[in-house]
Amino acid sequence: MTQTDGYLLDNRQTEAGQRFDAFATLFDPTTFRHMERFGIGSGWRCWEVGAGGTSVVSWLAKKVGPTGRVVATDIDTSWAASAARPPVEIRVHDVGAEEPPGEGFDLVHARLVLVHVPDRERALRSMVKALRPGGRLLIEDADPALQPLLCPDEHGPEQQLANRLRHGFRKLLAERGADLSYGRKLPRLLREAGLREVEADAYFPVTSTACADLESATVRQIRDQIVTAGIATNEDIDRHLANVASGSMDLATAPMISAWGRK
């Protein structure tokens, strides 16, 4: 993640760890499938941008082995204690404002990061610069504007409340500079950055326990901002959290678009 006073979802809050766990459950299989296709293996040098959690970093470390290297960066590395052992190197780093932490990487990866970065163009240039010739860039980001609803099947007051809160959440993100239609732009941006063999796909969870866990943690984390902005009352939020906990609603996430290319 990049440093910004307006960032809505602080990694140091208790709920952040719960959100990272939900993201890992939802999206790790997609991320790992793409990396396996690239042929990742022993000795690879990898840069994990805006790591936030340990699941991808730990998986990469096992793949590259003792002869490889995994540089994991974030503006807040409080999550990193359990991952900070060879071949993993943890660095405090702002991808949107600083030079890359080295060059010659075989793989550079960022998931659910650039949508929040104010200078996304600079961040993308930095990641491309860090690749060796023939190296792979994999960027995965949400596109909430493609599917803005928490409950696509809005058939009752519980779903209507959920979607009202989701709309408010998206409004707060946009006010802080998030690009809510960024995911769909990735293939074009990778081509414009000079990458070859650009492809992309999308993963769209419609309902799962992890979706519910993610929603509950997110709402608890931004509760004060929702109330302060007049989006909902504390009573509304309590009712919504109870509805989520009941398991009676189908809760979706925004589509995550994965785009990749070769330098």
pLDDT tens per residue across span 158-188: 999 999 999 999 999 999 888 999 999 999 9
Beta bridge partners of 91: 73
The pLDDT score that the predictor gives to residue 165 is 96
Whether a cis peptide bond, with omega within 30° of 0, leads into 87 is yes
Across 113-141, average pLDDT: 96
Q: Which pTM value belongs to this model? A: 0.93
From 178, 196, 241, 203, select the one nearest 32 (Cα to Cα).
Answer: 203
Reported as a pLDDT band with limits 50, 70 and 90, residue 2 is: very low
Contact 68, 42 (CB under 8 A): yes
Whether a cis peptide bond, with omega within 30° of 0, leads into 152 is no
Q: What is the dihedral of CA 35, 41, 43, 48, to 10 degrees?
A: 20
From 148, 184, 141, select the one nearest 31 (Cα to Cα).
Answer: 141
Contact 231, 242 (CB under 8 A): no
The pLDDT score that the predictor gives to residue 218 is 94
Q: Is 154 left (phi over 0), alpha (psi -120 to 50) or beta?
A: beta
Q: How far apart are CA 195 and CA 119, in angstroms?
A: 20
Among all chains, which residue has been given the structure tokens 């650039």?
Answer: 114
Across 125-138, average pLDDT: 98
Q: How far apart are CA 214 and CA 207, in angstroms?
A: 11
The pLDDT score that the predictor gives to residue 80 is 75
